[in-house]
Chains A and B, each alone.
Chain A
Amino acid sequence: MSSQPPPRKQIVRMRVNGRWREDAVADHALLVDYLRETAGLTGTKTGCDGGECGACAVLVDGVAVPSCITLAARCDGHSVETIEGMAQGGRLHRLQKAFHEQLGAQCGFCTPGMIMAAEALLRKNPKPTEAEIRSALSGNLCRCTGYVKIVKAVQIAAEAGS
């Protein structure tokens, strides 16, 4: 609405996929919008109207958070990792490879969130049981796969080691 003053912005410094950046960010901006619109990293998805589906999961300081209910300004000074940071030197990350090979992705919309949630798990617990994998992914919805192949992909990735 044109009658409203422009939103207040602050300079936010964030380490995104290993590289520090500085942007003017509105106080009310969500992390997911900052990543997709400002940083141009559209791998992170929004699948619901807030907090229910896990499609937007990214890592903040190494732990998974739903970026659709996280304010971008609160990540000032912190490290954020998205799906785009997973492949290194043109080589797929072991989770990406396993999701691809085990058919853990169908439409692929939930996959970035699934992979980030799985990555958070493997960093804490490199050899998880099936129950631990299912529990770590319990906040991530998939409408396509039925989960069996997702769990399998995480198991295969864990076996492959880092």
Chain B
Amino acid sequence: MTRPIHDFRLLRPQSVDAVIEARSMHENSRIVAGGTDLIVNLRRGIGRPSVLISLDGVEEIGQTFVSPDGARIGSGVTIAAVLADRELAAKFPALAAAAMTIAGPSHRNLATVGGNLCLDTRCIYYNQSEWWRASNGYCLKHRGEVCHVAPQGDRCHAVFSGDLAPALLVHGAEVELAGSGGRRRMPLADLYREDGRAHLTLADDEILVGVHLKHESLRSGYAKVRTRKAMDFPLAGVAVALDGNVGALRALRVALTGTNSCPVLLQGTDELLGKPVDEALLKSIDKLVQRQAQPVRTTLASANYRRLAAAGLARRLTDSLATGNASVS
């Protein structure tokens, strides 16, 4: 038998309200959607919730609605369902491109959009077996006192590695949250903070119910580098959305994953609007990415490699989208 997970109670409420009520009633509880991140961590002894609240019975969050103006994607929609939705892919190309690179095909049948956006941060000192972490004295993120990546500091630099977030950020996504105080909507970027131990701004009793997207006719794409191309988290992942052509850009948004403790919507791209897409502009993008990507040694690949890779991907994607050759992925 596989090493058993600790004992917990599994609740399967049927509505968003019932989920929130269960969350408020059970202090030491966790939400589980597809489980492809959480169950892996629980199997490794990371966290000991006494109650798991499964979202699989909540109908409201399991559907996608696409209209001429945009789309609403429920947080419980699977990555496989995102990939199967041609309308969504036509309106938001980066989203489908990113979804295609998430985990393996069998994971994508379980994995959800909400789980991907709320993915735990990752680090070579954290995503290890209990035995491995125990022999290393654990670390700041879980059970330990020191960060092995930056021992002088007092923060955790574990990296956010979800692929969907940057694709949704460049399409201006908003997230809809539900909690005991009611519902609220905010820009996706506000869901995150730069802290590897607490990278989500969700309140304890809040869950993500859906993502709202406005259709803006942007060309977009997503590309990532990873150690193993068949199936792996990004060492650096970049989404770009733009409007215009090589003569002049009318809109440009760039977002990163795999480099910081939260996904990064690149600041400063507005200053590049109206300019032709030439070597000077690509250099400016390269510089912006290199400044705002802040990888530290949380992966086997070096931090500098990840910074350079992010910059390179951003240049290449911008160039190919502007010239109309959107096949980079």
Contact = CB atoms under 8 A, between A and B. Distances in A.
Interface of A: 4, 7-8, 10, 26-28, 30, 32-33, 36-37, 46, 49-51, 54, 57, 60, 63-66, 68-71, 73-74, 117, 120, 135-136, 138-140
B43 A49 contact: yes
B43 A69 contact: yes
A69 B36 contact: yes
Determine chain A's interface SS by DSSP, over half rule: mixed
B39 A50 contact: yes
Contacts of B32: 71
A125 B4 CA distance: 36
Determine chain B's interface SS by DSSP, over half rule: loop
B35 A70 contact: yes
A68 B36 CA distance: 10
A139 B107 contact: yes
Interface string B1-39: 111111111101000000000000000000010011001
Interface string B190-227: 00000000000000000000000000000000000000
Given A37-B1, A66-B106, A68-B2, A27 B36 contact: no
Contact of B110 (A7, A32, A70, A117): A70
Contacts of A63: 80, 106, 109
B249 interface: no
Interface in B137-158: none
Interface residues of B, number: 32
B290 interface: no
A64 B80 CA distance: 11
Contacts of A66: 36, 106-107, 110
A71 B57 CA distance: 14
Contact of A49 (B56, B80, B129): B129
B10 A64 contact: no
Nearest to A137: B105
B2 A32 contact: yes
B41 to A, nearest CB: 9
A36 B323 CA distance: 54
Contact of B36 (A46, A49, A51, A120): A51
Contacts of A120: 105-106
Nearest to A73: B10
Nearest to A5: B7
Interface string B53-64: 010100000000
B231 interface: yes
Contact of A64 (B35, B54, B109): B109
Contacts of A49: 2-3, 43-44, 129
Nearest to A61: B109
B7 A26 contact: yes
Contacts of B43: 49-50, 68-69
B280 interface: no
- Return the 4 tightest CB-CB contacts between A and B, nearest first: A139-B104, A27-B10, A64-B106, A138-B230
A7 B7 CA distance: 6
B40 interface: yes
A26 B52 CA distance: 13
Contact of A69 (B4, B7, B8, B35): B35
Contacts of A28: 4-8, 10
Contacts of B56: 74
Contacts of B1: 33, 36-37
A14 to B, nearest CB: 15
Contacts of B231: 138-139
Given A33-B2, A46-B2, A49-B129, A27 B9 contact: yes
